[in-house]
Amino acid sequence: MSDFAEWVLELVKKLVQPAWDFFTDFLIATLALVLKAVVALIALLPGFDGLSGGLQTFYGSLPSGIAYCLAQMGMPTVLAMIGSAFAFRLARKIFTLFQW
């Protein structure tokens, strides 16, 4: 009896596995299409003209009240931390010869 049960189980596995593979491939293909559509929609958005001169001109053109609030919230410190993290990441890539 156990040989028959094992045979039936193997038969069910052989029947279900291709369907499962098709389903996962379909989900991956659908996700890829959705992400391509999102990228295409983002590409259609016009660029922000406020950053054409760089961050210095952007912050220079802010009203004084907003600039004060950003300074009190620590925006310069946040930008410095982001810059140092990016520099660390690039240095790590260079020192490991782009192996990761």
**41: its two tokens:** 């929609």
- pLDDT bracket for residue 75 (50, 70, 90): confident
Give the residue from 33, 49, 51, 52 showing the smallest Cα distance to 41. Answer: 33
- pLDDT bracket for residue 100 (50, 70, 90): low
Q: Is the pLDDT of residue 67 over 70?
A: yes
Query: For the whole model, what pTM was predicted?
Result: 0.44
Q: For 42-69, what is the mean pLDDT?
A: 81
Question: Within this chain, do residues 56 and 100 fall inside the same structural domain, yes or no?
Answer: yes
Question: Within this chain, do residues 55 and 100 fall inside the same structural domain, yes or no?
Answer: yes
Question: Within this chain, do residues 38 and 58 fall inside the same structural domain, yes or no?
Answer: no
**24: its two tokens:** 């996962």
Work out how many domains the chain is built from and give that number: 2
Question: Within this chain, do residues 60 and 89 fall inside the same structural domain, yes or no?
Answer: yes
